[in-house]
Chain A
């Protein structure tokens, strides 16, 4: 099965990549952009989707600093 895992910096953790992207968007003239956060997308084929949460907890994300969201199908 195909799955996607979205990984993002936890709320409250300073995300300098997001801040830089936000400033760059403003420099390009896009107005009203705020709260830009940059995360990661992992796409994978898995035989056992039930194992996805453990994959995230143990390797794909660091739960101390990142939240993850599993989208199957």
Chain B
């Protein structure tokens, strides 16, 4: 199982994503200017501040050369996960529904949050616990989609993660912390599973289960 982890100028969680992936499979670093995914089985779009978050978060990264490959890969059914800034990039690329807006507090928030797994039956969460403890660190994480779209997402099981009651610190509609696309092969979440892979320094290892779920999905599909 080979995970490709993209690095954009301004990415800062790419190394932690590589370390997390290395616990469950092989890692292939991918550069934003690459035109080739080098045969990876899954792609991680990591957190950070790609291209300085100029214009809008994710708006420039979405047009990076590597993203053309990621969009083709996703359209062919390849698994793609965006974390934090990566989630924002996938929304801008229209691979995921909705958009991320500035937290209602306008503040950067960095802390551990509790999450409820709304849909355990996905390629990204099948090995995860029903209640996860994972850190967040962002200023622009308020999930938004127009009301009719939200109803559709809820009805089709595309809402995968929610902030637990009382934990929605950024004002996300429907408490949404993570969504998947209709087909189920593209997933984005604002909290950072790659920072929660070790009990000692991550507060929990609940994040590791996300990467393990991806490995199970890929190896199940390859078998």
B15 to chain A, nearest CB (A): 29
Determine whether the beta carbon of A65 is less than 8 Å from that of B101: yes
Main secondary structure of the interface of B (DSSP, over half): loop
Say whether, besides A13-B144, A14-B171, A59-B59, A64 and B99 are in contact (CB < 8 Å). Answer: yes
Docked-complex contact A13 and B59, CB < 8 angstroms: no
Is B146's CB within 8 Å of the partner chain A?
yes
Q: How many residues of B contact A (CB 8 A)?
A: 18
Q: Which residues of B contact A64 (CB under 8 A)?
A: 98-99, 144-146
Partner of B101, one of A13, A20, A59, A60: A13
Chain A CB within 10 A, most for which of B101, B104, B142 = B101
Q: Name the contact of B106 in the complex, choosing from A16, A59, A60, A62 (C-beta under 8 A).
A: A16
Report how many residues on chain A are interfacial, defined by Cβ distance under 8 Å.
10
Interface contact A14-B92, CB-CB below 8 Å: no
Q: Convert B148-165 into 0s and 1s, putting 1 for each residue whose CB lies closer than 8 angstroms to a CB of A.
A: 000000000000000000
Q: A-contacting residues of B (Cβ < 8 Å)? A: 55-56, 59, 63, 92, 98-99, 101-106, 142, 144-146, 171
The residues of A with any CB-CB pair to B shorter than 8 Å are: 13-14, 16-17, 20, 59-60, 62, 64-65
